[in-house]
Structure 1
Amino acid sequence: MAIPRIYTAVYSSIPVFEMVVNGIAVMRRRNDSYMNATQILKVAGIDKGKRTKILEREINPNEGEKVQGGYGKFQGTWTSLQTSIDLARRYQVYDLIQPMLEFDSATAGNIEEKGHLPSTKDQPSQLNPRKRDHSAFSVPSSSPAQQQGVYNDTTAATAHKKARIGTTIGPSSSNYSLEAKHRTILMSIFLSDDTANVSHLLQASEALDLNINLDEQGNTALHWAASLARVNTVEQLTMHGATIDRQNNLGETPLMRCVAATNSFDCDCFRKMLKYLDGSLFVSDHQHRTVLHHIALTVATEGRTNAALYYMHHLLYALEKATPPASPQVKTRLLNRQDDHGDTAVSIAAQLDCPRLIQLLVDAGADETSTNNIGLTPNDYADAAQPQDSSHKPHDTDQQAPMPSKRPSGPTQRNKEIMATMQKIVNTLDEDYGDAISTRETQLQQTKDQLHTTTQTLHDARKALEKRQADSQAFAEGQQKVRNLKQAMETSWSDLQHLVPDLDKAAVLAMDTTTIDTMTAVPIKTRIAAYEWNNAMLESAVAGLRAESMEKEMQCKRLIAACCGLALDKVDELVEPLTLAIESDPPDLDLARPLPASDFKPRSGYKA
Structure 2
Amino acid sequence: MSVVEVTKLIGEEGHQVPLTLKRSNETGYFLLKPFLPLLQQLLSGEGDATIDDVGSTEIDAQQEDRILSKYGILVDTDDSNEKWITGEKAFELMQLLNILHLFRENFEKQADGDENYHQQQQQQQQQQLQQESPHDQDHAGSGTAVNNRELEGLKNESGDSGASSHSSGKDEDVSGSNSHKRPNNELGINVEAQRELGSPLKRLRLDRNSPPDETMASFATTTDVKPAEVSNTRSIVTYNHDLNPSLVSVPLSIKRSQSPPIVPDNNQRMKLEAFLQRLLFPEVQDLSSAAHDTHHQMTFETLLHEVDMTFPDVSLNLNVPVDEHGNTPLHWLASIANLDVVKQLVKNGSNRFLGDNIGESALVKAVKSVNNYDSGTFEELLDYLYPCLILEDSMNRTILHHIVITSGMTGCSSAAKYYLDILMGWIVKKQSRSIEGSGSDPILDTLDLKWVISHMLNAPDSNGDTCLNIASRLGNVALVDALLDYGADPYVANKSGLRPVDFGAGTSKLLSNGISTAGLNHLADPASTTAGDTKVPDTMSLIEEMQALLGTVSKDYDSEVKEHQEKLDRLHKDLNSHREMLAACRDRLAHAKQLQDEHALLKEQLANIKKEIQEEEESFRLESKQLGISPDDDSGADWDSSEFDADEPFRVDFIYDILENKLVNEYGGNIDKLLATESVDKILKHVRSTCSQNGEDKLETMLPPSFLLKARINAYKRNGDRLNSTIDVIKQKQSDLESKFRRVLCLCLKVDEDKVDGMLDGLLQAISSEDPQDVDTEEMQDFLKKHAV
Q: TM-score range by the shorter chain?
A: 0.3 to 0.5
Between the two structures, name the one with larger relative contact order (CA 8 Å, sep ≥ 6). Answer: 1
Using structure 2 for the length normalisation, give the TM-score.
0.31
Larger-Rg structure: 2
Using structure 1 for the length normalisation, give the TM-score.
0.40
